[in-house]
Amino acid sequence: MQKEIIQNPDSKLLLNQVDCLYKNLNYSNWSVVLISSFLVWVLWPVANRSALLYWDAYILFVTLCREHLAYRYTRAQENENNIKVWLKIYVGGVFLSGLGWGLQLILIVPPKQTIHLIAAVFLLGGLVTGSAATLASLKYSFAVFSIPAILPGALYLIFLDRELTFVIGCSLFLFLVFILFIALRMHKTVFYSLKKQFEVSKLLSVIESEKIELEEKIIELENQLQFDQEEFEKLHTTLKHKQTNNMMVRNFSDFDDARFNSLLGQSNGGVWDMNIKSGQMKYSDSWLGMLGYEVGDIINDIPFWEDLLHPEDKLKVLNKLQNFSTGNTREYSSSYRLKNKSGDWIWVVVRAQGVIWGNTGELLQVVGAESIIPESGEMLKNALDLIHRGQSYLL
């Protein structure tokens, strides 16, 4: 697993490393400029000045190019898509810089100037060590600077055929091997740490994703719970309304049924069934006979019944029936005039009660019993008294 990740690093992980290198490149460039200037000052009295100036110009040119690339990188908008290209450019700049420092021992440091040679070697060793530490996180990039910076000079000093330079060259070569070994160990250690950080980041990403998914499910459940609660409240309201209406029906049915049935039996009377939702209305044969109609004379709808109402009573009757159907009143009992087939107006008394309600408690079907109020004073008095008592009882 570790080998797979080292060979195929995640693009975001690689982007973070390269981004860090480019953003800190200014400090490295300034260090190179200061160290190269110091080296020119130290070697000026003893080295070939033309070669020294050419070398210094090369170092400054490579440094300025790397500085320009760092500037372009910070202004680029698609670094993540081209991260491998930027990495190759960075490694190329490191190689050119390392090659320039490796040529100093061959071109500008006089091999007979022992003190200056040793100073240049120590300076070079410090640069290589710093470079190895800086590039340790990237795969083998630490070797891109170390090998061209030390190997040419080490071989040059070994083959000069002088005892001192041979010793210095061999020591420099051993230092190269040692620093590469240390850098490789540093690379594995650093990348192992980055790998663990990457795995933790992945784990946190998965946890965050699952957290978001869980929050979405919680919101969905809360919405479903709220919907179920609203449906339950509607059902509770409906059941409560039906229970109230059932109590009203029982109260209405219990109210003085004997007297009303007696009154219905003493006079012409009938029953109608009104479907408020469909607008249909059915009439019993006794109701038709009460008004002198036959089946072919009527229309089985509410408007036909409304047309039979006396103009002076119509508005009051319909308003009262509307209040009853919407639940604004608890009963319907009244008296009004209806037109019979002969065109005469007759007084009737009516009692009605709901029998079917909708899901939200609205009244859908009403059954009413109408009876002609006889003209005799006693029967009229009984009918009106019945209506008055029914209203007082139910309200």
Classified as helix, coil or strand, 283 is: strand
Residues 290, 191: one domain?
no
Q: What is the pLDDT of residue 235?
A: 62
Q: What is the pLDDT of residue 386?
A: 53
Residues 148, 30: one domain?
yes
Q: What is the pLDDT of residue 254?
A: 41
> Within a domain: residue 247?
no
> Within a domain: residue 217?
no
Give the residues of the chain that fall short of pLDDT 70: 1-13, 77-80, 137, 139, 187, 190-202, 225, 228-268, 327-331, 374-395
Which residues lie across from 144 on neighbouring strands? none
Domains: count for the chain: 2
Predicted confidence (pLDDT) per residue in 240-266, tens digit: 555 554 444 434 334 344 444 444 444
Question: Which pTM value belongs to this model?
Answer: 0.46
Q: Which of 152, 181, 212 is the last residue of a domain?
A: 212
Predicted confidence (pLDDT) per residue in 160-219, tens digit: 878 888 888 888 889 888 888 887 777 677 666 666 666 666 677 778 777 787 778 788
> Within a domain: residue 297?
yes
Q: What is the pLDDT of residue 296?
A: 82
> Within a domain: residue 244?
no
Residue 197 CA to residue 191 CA, distance in Å, equals 9
DSSP letters along 342-395, please?
TS-EEEEEEEEEEEEE-TTS-EEEEEEEEEE--SSHHHHHHHHHHHHHHHHHH-
DSSP letter, residue 110 = -
Q: What is the pLDDT of residue 197?
A: 67
Q: What is the pLDDT of residue 61?
A: 92
Residues 304, 206: one domain?
no
Alpha helices in the chain (DSSP H): 2-7, 11-23, 25-43, 49-75, 83-102, 104-107, 114-134, 142-158, 163-254, 257-266, 285-291, 302-307, 311-325, 377-394
> Within a domain: residue 31?
yes
Residues 7, 138: one domain?
yes
> Within a domain: residue 239?
no
Contact between residue 147 and residue 98 where contact means Cβ atoms under 8 Å apart = yes
State the residue range of the domain holding 122: 2-212
Residues 55, 146: one domain?
yes
Q: What is the pLDDT of residue 191?
A: 65
Q: What is the pLDDT of residue 2?
A: 34
> Within a domain: residue 172?
yes
Classified as helix, coil or strand, 9 is: coil
> Within a domain: residue 290?
yes
Residue 342 CA to residue 349 CA, distance in Å, equals 20
